[in-house]
């Protein structure tokens, strides 16, 4: 079994990480999942949360607002809608993300009058963003 795997995290703004890690804890749509070397192939959507990695050069944490993660036996690739190193997150960043989620919820309510699925998804995104702010205490 390999001791490390490749981890890559990119967002539309920039590449945030490309490093060797022992494990990556990912906020998947169905809950947090931990990927380690030789993990079975999986693709999952992300929900807002804290993505954590641990490797030979230490641990790192990133705030992600959504996106996708592709896990393979030799690595993890994360394509985040928005991502920031946790240490760089400010109240302004969080407020911007919450406002975007609030706007998406309002748009879903207007667009999908009698279709609860998309409206519920948007409401969950908004609730996750607010809870994330409480979790990181900014």
Q: How do strand 23-28 and strand 49-55 relate by DSSP bridges?
A: antiparallel
Q: What is the pLDDT of residues 38-61, one digit of tens each?
A: 999 999 999 999 999 999 989 999
Taking 60 as the threshold, does the pLDDT of residue 21 lie above it?
yes
The owner of tokens 């050069």 is: 57
Give CA–CA dist 108/115, Å, rounded: 9
pLDDT in tens, 114-128: 777 888 888 887 888
Q: What is the CATH number of the domain that holds 58?
A: 2.60.15.10
Does 55 share its domain with 106?
no
Where are the extended beta strands (E) located within 22-138? 23-28, 31-35, 42-46, 49-55, 58-64, 67-72, 75-80, 83-85
- What integer pLDDT is reported at residue 138 of this predicted model? 64
Q: pLDDT of 57-100, one tens digit each? A: 899 999 998 899 999 999 999 999 999 999 998 888 888 888 88
Model pLDDT, residue 116: 77
Q: What's the average model confidence in pLDDT over 31-40?
A: 95
60 and 78 share one domain: yes
Asked whether residue 25 falls in the same domain as residue 67, the answer is yes
Residue 135 has pLDDT above 90, yes or no: no
User: For residues 74 and 7, is the Cβ–Cβ distance under 8 A?
Assistant: no
Do 33 and 49 sit in the same domain of this protein?
A: yes
- Secondary structure of residue 94 in the 3-state scheme: helix
Model confidence, pTM: 0.84
Is residue 1 scored above 70 in pLDDT? Answer: no
pLDDT in the model for residue 133: 77
Domains in the chain, number: 2
Q: Are residues 69 and 97 in the same domain?
A: no
* Domain membership of residue 11 as a residue range: 5-86
Name every residue whose Cβ is closer than 8 Å to that of residue 79 and which is 6 or more positions away in sequence.
Answer: 10, 11, 67, 68, 69, 70
Return the closest-CA partner of residue 67 out of 43, 91, 89. 43
């Amino acid at each position: 079994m390999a001791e490390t795997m490749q981890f890559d995290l990119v967002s539309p703004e920039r590449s945030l990480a490309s490093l060797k890690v022992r494990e990556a804890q990912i906020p998947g749509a169905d809950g947090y999942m931990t990927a380690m070397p030789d993990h079975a192939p999986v693709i999952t959507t992300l929900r807002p949360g804290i993505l954590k990695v641990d490797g030979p050069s230490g641990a790192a944490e990133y705030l992600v607002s959504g996106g996708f993660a592709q896990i393979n036996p030799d690595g993890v690739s994360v394509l985040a809608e928005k991502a920031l190193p946790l240490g760089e997150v400010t109240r302004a960043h969080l407020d911007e993300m919450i406002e975007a989620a609030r706007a998406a919820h309002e748009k879903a309510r207007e667009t999908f009058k009698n279709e609860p699925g998309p409206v519920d998804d948007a409401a969950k995104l908004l609730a996750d963003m607010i809870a994330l702010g409480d979790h990181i205490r900014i």
